[in-house]
Amino acid sequence: MSYSTGTTALDPDRRETGGPLRTQPLSPVDRTDRVLPWSGPRGWKNSPPTLRAKRDDGLESIDEGFSMVELMVALLVLSILLAIAIPTFLGTTATADDRSAQANLSTALTDAKVQFQNNGQTYFVNGLPDPAGLSTALNAAQLSLLFKAGSTGTGTSTTQGSSGILSTISVAVSADGNGLVMAAYSVPGNCFYVIDNAQTLTGTTASVAPYTGTTAVTTTATAAPAGTIGLPTAAGTSYAEVKGDVTKTDCNANSPTTSGSPATIKYQKSGFPS
């Protein structure tokens, strides 16, 4: 910018360099006060000035990142939080899976009792012990679940009839048609059973599949030995839970088994063991 008085104008170049001021007389034609455009070597007559940040090497930059110590502390805090949160999450998930398997068995039992009434107070189908036929009828009545016969009816095939997931129900029928066993596997490694006996099972019926196990029926959780587990033969509905058995094929209504320690088994009459 240039400055002027009534007779002279200040030279911006000389002001910038700090030298003596040089005067510029005004022409006789224009004696009025006016501001001359800055047209010196570094003037901005044709373009505006550009502002540039001044760098001071004596000061630290404010755009620095985190130090290694800060990152390590952050990772340590994150690890502690994960160590607390993950077990809680897994425990909640396991409980939800158990409840879902139990609910599915309760629904399956309700549907099976309808078939029991429709078949003339028996779990036989067309007068025969046919768990495959019963499973077919249950699949038609309950589309949200998948029913499988623990055996095909001949007693020779059981692996395909195991419950591998909580929405698949394994089905078995007693030799006299008065007993029903259903099983559902829960993801954490637990297998739930519901046993419905229209009357007390005795004689040959109580000594063949699915009631051939020798494990004592008790309401106290006990270590389950490897092999076929026992099922209640008394009249009424009973519930059983095998915990800690990760072998999915063990969860079979026709041949309920465990792989041994650390699996435990518990029975209850009023509902599924907690």
Q: Is residue 88 part of a domain?
A: no
Is 141 found in the same domain as 13?
no
Is 264 found in the same domain as 153?
yes
Domain count, the chain: 2
Q: Is residue 163 part of a domain?
A: yes
Of the pLDDT bands very low, low, confident and very high (cuts 50, 70, 90), residue 69 is: confident
Is 119 found in the same domain as 247?
yes
Is 105 found in the same domain as 28?
no
Q: Is residue 161 part of a domain?
A: yes
Confidence at residue 199, expressed as pLDDT on a 0 to 100 scale: 95
Of the pLDDT bands very low, low, confident and very high (cuts 50, 70, 90), residue 191 is: very high
Q: Is residue 12 part of a domain?
A: yes
Is 21 found in the same domain as 145?
no
What is the reported pTM? Answer: 0.67
pLDDT in tens, 254-267: 999 998 888 999 99
Is 199 found in the same domain as 115?
yes
Q: Is residue 74 part of a domain?
A: no
Q: Is residue 38 part of a domain?
A: yes
Is 146 found in the same domain as 34?
no
pLDDT tops 90 at residue 100: yes
Is 231 found in the same domain as 114?
yes
pLDDT in tens, 17-62: 444 545 455 555 555 555 545 555 555 555 555 555 555 555 555 5
Average pLDDT, the chain: 79
Is 114 found in the same domain as 11?
no
Of the pLDDT bands very low, low, confident and very high (cuts 50, 70, 90), residue 14 is: very low
Q: Is residue 70 part of a domain?
A: no
pLDDT in tens, 113-154: 999 999 999 999 999 989 999 999 999 999 999 999 987 544
Question: Domain range for residue 7?
Answer: 1-46
- Mean of the pLDDT values across residues 157-184? 88
Confidence at residue 153, expressed as pLDDT on a 0 to 100 scale: 47
pLDDT tops 90 at residue 237: yes
Confidence at residue 167, expressed as pLDDT on a 0 to 100 scale: 93
Is 228 found in the same domain as 170?
yes
**Higher per-residue pLDDT: 8 or 206:** 206
HEC-encoded secondary structure of the chain: CCCECCCEECCHHHHHHCCCCCCCECCCCCCCCCCCCCCCCCCCCCCCCCCCCCCCCCCCCCCCCCCHHHHHHHHHHHHHHHHHHHHHHHHHHHHHHHHHHHHHHHHHHHHHHHHHHHCCCCCCECCECCHHHHHHHHHHHCCCCEEEECCCCCCCCCHHHCCCCCCEEEEEECCCCCEEEEEEEECCCEEEEEEEECCCCCHHHHHCCCCCCCCCCCCCCEECCCEECCCCCCCEEEEEEEECCCCHHHCCCCCCEECCCCCEEEEECCCCCC
Most confident of 7-11, 132-136, 146-150, 179-183: 179-183
Of the pLDDT bands very low, low, confident and very high (cuts 50, 70, 90), residue 185 is: very high
Of the pLDDT bands very low, low, confident and very high (cuts 50, 70, 90), residue 200 is: very high
Q: Is residue 134 part of a domain?
A: yes
Is 108 found in the same domain as 28?
no
Is 12 found in the same domain as 113?
no
